[in-house]
Chains A and B, each alone.
Chain A
Amino acid sequence: MGVMRMGYAHVRVTDMAEAKDHYANTLGLYETLSQDGRVYYKGWDEWDHHSVVLEEGGVGLVKFGFKVEKAEDIDDIEKKAQTFGVTVERMSQGENPEVSDGIRFTTPSDHVFEVYHGQTLIGTEVGSHNPEAFPRHLVGVGVPGLDHALITCDDANLMTKFLQDVFGYFVTEKVATSLDEDADTIASWMTNNNQIHQLAVLSGPQGKLHHFAFKLGDWSEVGRAADLFSMDDVPIDVGPTRHGITRGQTVYFFDPAGNRNEVFAGGYAAYPDRPTVVWTPDQLGKGIFYHARELNDRFTSVLT
């Protein structure tokens, strides 16, 4: 099936001690490795070795990893990326701890993507034999896992095409300059399975991170997460609210280095044959923040 999901987000943080406190104690991720100045985490319901990597020094994205189902999928994606005109390099097993061999390339949006087919299996925190519903002693928000990311680039049309051609993604929702057939894409939300989006792209500067998101179950968990952010003095950007786009329920907030995080719940099931939802710029406020119905000062400008 090719790409299964965004497997990891690797980001820079200015102060590792503060970042560890945020990701472990506020979000409740499980630390699985600390090596060469990097700290690796997984959520309780993730089975692979890690989904978040922190690296001290600077802010913003280092790279994303995408996990494919089979080793052969790597060759297929390599060919498609090359056909698109992107230079692809091979990476060997162990270049990233506990991650298989694969490929690495810089996308037309100037982000580094790695594609791999295996990670050391740790297992979820509830196991897979007659499991309980959730671990009893979750810390903080207790996020179950990584969900998706939003990145910016100067040509959203091109990056959308790239993800369609190379990853086999389809567009579930988009913001277009108008409802005309030939309208330009301002932003698009993409996936290749029932998850409403694995990756979204927004017009803006090249190579920037808007946010990466962790999944939650429902509204009440999103509200509880926001309460915990207040308790831990985590700056909330917006929410709890709903996105018109994807229908997801959300809180945007910042990690101690200023990288935007999100907790995201809901979103309807995506299908490739479902008509793409189109939003026009005059309704973008409602599309992003369904209740306030206007963008805040930070949505298009605060990036790392």
Chain B
Amino acid sequence: MPTVTIDPTGEVIHLDPNETILAGLYKAGYAYLIGCRRGGCAICKVDALDGEFDYERPVADTVITDTERTDGTCLSCRAVPSTDITIRLRGETLRLVNPFLASINAKARERAEAYAAAQHEKNNLSTTTKEM
């Protein structure tokens, strides 16, 4: 379950599996400048500072150039993170428009983290058992 961290303001948003960054942020109650939401207009580009993502649907060359495919440019409406990711918006700050969704998202993230920690603990235990 990847998270998106916003640089430099530090919001951390939990994404569901296979969710795009744009869909995840809006589902968590946040807003920023977006256009068509469908990979055509390029207005929702952000910079990925850390982490990996994939475009799981075709993106036109006119929207993302060859250079932009390797320089950290991230078309947020089509980008699905495969790891935790840190992004920086271009020339604006993330706006919280629905705080109720943000708190639901925060709880979902806590649950996911608790679950991951429990899994980690279990794996460690079983490794220890094997060693014995």
Q: A interface vs B, CB < 8 Å?
A: 12, 14-15, 57-60, 235, 237, 254-260, 297-298, 301-304
Of A14, A59, A254, A303, which one neighbours B37 at CB under 8 angstroms? A254
Identify B60's interface contact among A58, A256, A297, CB under 8 A. Answer: A58
Residues of A within 8 A of B59 (CB): 14
Q: Indicate if the CB atoms of B58 and A258 lie closer than 8 Å.
A: no
Q: Is the CB of B43 within 8 A of A298?
A: yes
- Contact digits for B15-51, partner A, Cβ 8 Å, 1 yes 0 no: 0000000000000000001011111110100000000
A260 to B39, CA, bound (A): 12
Kindly identify, within residues 58 to 105 of chain B, every residue whose CB is under 8 Å from any CB belonging to chain A.
58-63
Name the residue on A nearest B40 (C-beta): A258
Binding site for A on B (CB under 8 A): 33, 35-41, 43, 57-63
Knowing A14-B60, A58-B60, the reply to whether A304 touches B40 (Cβ < 8 A) is yes
Are the C-beta atoms of B57 and A59 separated by less than 8 Å? no
Can you list 12 A-B pairs with a CB-CB distance of less than 8 A? A14-B39, A15-B57, A58-B61, A60-B40, A235-B36, A254-B37, A254-B38, A256-B38, A259-B36, A301-B35, A301-B41, A304-B62
> Can you name the residue of chain B whose Cβ is closest to the Cβ of A12?
B60
**A302-B60 CB under 8 A given contacts A254-B36, A260-B36:** no
A15 proximity list for chain B (CB < 8 A): 57-58
Number of A-B residue pairs, CB cutoff 8 Å, is 69
Q: Nearest residue in A to B38 (C-beta to C-beta)?
A: A258
User: Known contacts being A258-B41, A301-B43, A304-B41, is A58 close to B62, with CB within 8 Å?
Assistant: yes
Which residues on A sit within 8 Å (CB–CB) of B57?
A: 14-15
**A57 CA to B43 CA, complexed, in Å:** 19
Complex Cα distance, B131 from A297, in Å, reads 61
Of the candidates B33, B36, B61, which one forms a contact with A258 in the assembled complex, judged by CB atoms under 8 Å apart? Answer: B36
Of all A-B residue pairs in the complex, the 6 with the closest CB atoms, nearest first, are A258-B40, A258-B36, A302-B35, A254-B36, A59-B40, A58-B60
Of A57, A254, A297, A301, which one neighbours B40 at CB under 8 angstroms? A254
Please measure, in the bound complex, the distance between the C-alpha atom of A256 and the C-alpha atom of B59, giving whole angstroms. Answer: 12
Taking the nearest CB of chain A, how far is it from the CB of B76, in angstroms? 13
A residues near B40, Cβ cutoff 8 Å: 14, 59-60, 254-255, 257-259, 304
In the complex the two chains form, is B39's CB within 8 Å of A257's CB?
A: yes
How close is A294's CB to chain B, nearest CB, in angstroms? 15
A25 CB to closest chain B CB (Å) equals 16
Q: Which B residues lie within 8 Å of A12 (CB)?
A: 60
CB–CB B38/A257 < 8 A: yes
User: Residues of B contacting A304 with CB < 8 Å?
Assistant: 36, 40-41, 62
- Please report the C-alpha to C-alpha distance between residue A257 and residue B37 in the assembled complex, in whole angstroms: 9
Q: A258 and B35: CB pair below 8 A? A: yes
B-side contacts of A259, CB under 8 Å: 36, 40
Cα(A257)–Cα(B41), bound, Å: 9
Most chain A CB within 10 A, of B35, B36, B43, B59, is at B36
Which residue from chain A places its CB closest to the CB of B41 in the assembled complex?
Answer: A302
A303: B residues at CB distance < 8 A: 41
